[in-house]
Structure 1
Amino acid sequence: METTRSFSQDINDEYQKFIRRMNPPRVVIDNETCKNATVIQVDSANKHGILLEVVQVLTDLNLIITKAYISSDGGWFMDVFNVTDQNGSKITDEEVLDYIQKSLGPDSCFTSSVRRSVGVKPSMDHTSIELVGCDRPGLLSEVSAVLTHLKCNVVNGEVWTHNTRAAAVMQVTDEETGGAITNPERLSVIKKLLCNVLKGSNKSREAANTVVSHGITHTERRLHQMMFADRDYERPCDKASGEKQKPDVSVVNWYDRDYSVVTIRSKDRPKLLFDTICTLTDMDYVVFHGNVDAEGPEAHQEYCIRHIDGEPVKSDAERQRLIQCLGAAIERRVSEGLKLELCTTDRVGLLSDVTRIFRENSLTVTRAEVTTRSGKAVNSFYVRDASGYPVDAKIIDSIRQAIGQTILQVKGSPEDMNQVPQESPTRFLFGGLFKSRSFCNFGLVKSYS
């Protein structure tokens, strides 16, 4: 059975390559037509997933998509995007423009994957570890402590939490060699211990499912797939988080054309289009037409879709599930809490030490991004008080003084902090804590700009 599926996939891949050679994609970048945005038009032979691949290239460059027009009826695909940089300006950097041409044009080679397995994947430079389980305060601290104990250094990673669930994709290296961890026995120990951490005291459902996998996929897309597979779109019965603003999603059938029309209204934010297109693609829906307008504070998206089998949405149950999944895809990246950015010299155990301090001071991490650039750790954390109260400004100030004002910076809104808090008995722990662990010797208080 597996051999037949593999052979079928190989034939399909060769057919797609042939179609691509006969109809190479065309990319037109126009900085003249629109007054306040760069217009990017992509024409190509159509295939399932190509829209996501194009959007992924643009969002990975941190470009802001303010408008989009999508059309993929028949065998041809055409997209038009209005994009700006993070400052709202046109794209004029020649290296960026050249990268877009090469990534989307005739010489590009899309390598999308819908791999759905979860586990540890060895590679040449690092080992990728994927985790999914029940969220709880201190979870990231516990996971990073286990990795440090196992002599693994987290060089890159991303953590999402949503609706009581948590998912993470981490790239780790061996402390001694600085390379990937390939020993099967050691990988088995890593998986076993991390699975034990993820299970915790959860008894309602399986906390984690870990297997060895071999494909390569996009980190943020993988996080969407993992949380979707973990059914994070199913809301808790108590609906304790129901006070925050929810996206407005509707699905109706257009019977004259055999389409289902999806309409989404939500607060705009970076990568919103990627999140919705990613979910539609991984749920096996095809976007035939679409319009996106995100020039104001609210984004409006409208898509004409069919299931990959050619049918529109067939039942009310399918409609409700699609609405739930799109809402969850939008909410996963909405970061609750105060944003803290840490920049310093990278070292083994850095993530463990920082997150342990958060945990010991009743801060829980709702989202995290960990990156290493030329030996420097550049980490972002979204934190909130584990009890649900505003973050204690004095605790944050104590953390920053101990670590270094230029190393840990507050990036969130002052509204996320309690500016006149009660005295916290834990705020005095930091002086002795940092001295006892000799953080200065690790370069944690060294200025970085």
Structure 2
Amino acid sequence: MVACVVLTAAVASCGTGGANLTADGKIELTIATFNEFGYEELFKEYEAAHPDIKITQRKTGQGAPHHQNLFTKLGAGSGLADVEAVEEGYLSQVMAKSDQFTNLLEIGPADATPDRWLKWKADAATTPDGKLVGYGTDIGPLAMCYRKDLFAEAGLPSDPEEVKQLFATWDSYFAAGDRFVAKMSGVAWFDSAAQIFNAMHNQHDVGYFDRSNTLVVESNPDIRSDWTAVTNAVSRGQSAKLTAFSSEWNTGFKLGRFATKTCPSWMLGVIETQAGPENAGKWAVTEAFPNGGGNWGGSYLTVPKQSRNAGRAAELAAWLTAPEQQIKAFQAKGTFPSQVEALENRALLEQVNTYFDNVRAGALFAAQVQKVKAVQHKGPADGQLQENVFGPALQSVEQGKRADEAWDTAVKEAKKAVE
């Protein structure tokens, strides 16, 4: 049941007035997502229960193009989907334009209140005056994935319990990487310098911006320390030098080009999709993560005021982010739920991932969530700095540029991004 009010002329009522209709008279709701949300089967389930609804998904392979499209169409005033997914790194930009999104507390179902989610998850999508801009989908508690067969071939421990010593700290992780590449010709320790750097960066209380939204890239010693550790590992041959979510990166999973992968919970679905059935059982996941874990990633579903049927769109978004559906999404693609009730659900805690050597992935990541007491503040252009500044800068180091020169470039580009 939807509690629906008309906020502005741009927000449609709960009825069908102004809605997009299909040839057979159904209400078409569009939803724009990226990477893997695990919603494909849920869409079918929702349509079966709502025969007047037709869901059209616009799915982008990577987050950056999706968000570029979102902000372009937001500025143009037209062209957005009825439901738009927003990744946490871009949420601050959406919150700065919150007047262009519906207040889900007013237009959404009455039971979709902030206490459905972990407090820090809901707080991030709530404006200072109490408007809820996004329904939380997943979060990204961190664990470590690795290739058991490649570890064994290199003479490293391969059992999930035994490998914990290798992943205790970042120092021990990179030390193990030195041992691995010394034994394995043509196989790297990790996939991408940017992926390692991002995981390290997300562990800190303060990242690219402080809580007053001041850029602190140059003055934050943690960022420079992470940069040095990662680029030193690159210089010692530990990186496969792949760009995340590129076709070469996808192929790298299938061909075993690297042995470890920083694994927020949503990465399990990515690995299974890209590594393929021929590598089932070769990948394992352990709860151990260097320096204790953290959160990397997670998204929200928003309803722009451009939506021609915002009430029905909010109803769909609320249903997709209800505990029951988020558990199904996790079972489908490893997107770990952010809903309090879901985290205690037996179906989640007893869920077994057959691809990853029958690990009880639900219980593993539920334990990792408990290690996250707060999350890093994401300031303006945080996602842009991650994907368009530091990612390319680290790639340039992998391609031969001096690390100190690449750092200077990254700092300059970061300052330009927030001018």
TM-score (norm 2): 0.28
TM-score (norm 1): 0.27
Q: Which has the larger radius of gyration?
A: 1
Which is helix-richer, 1 or 2?
Answer: 2
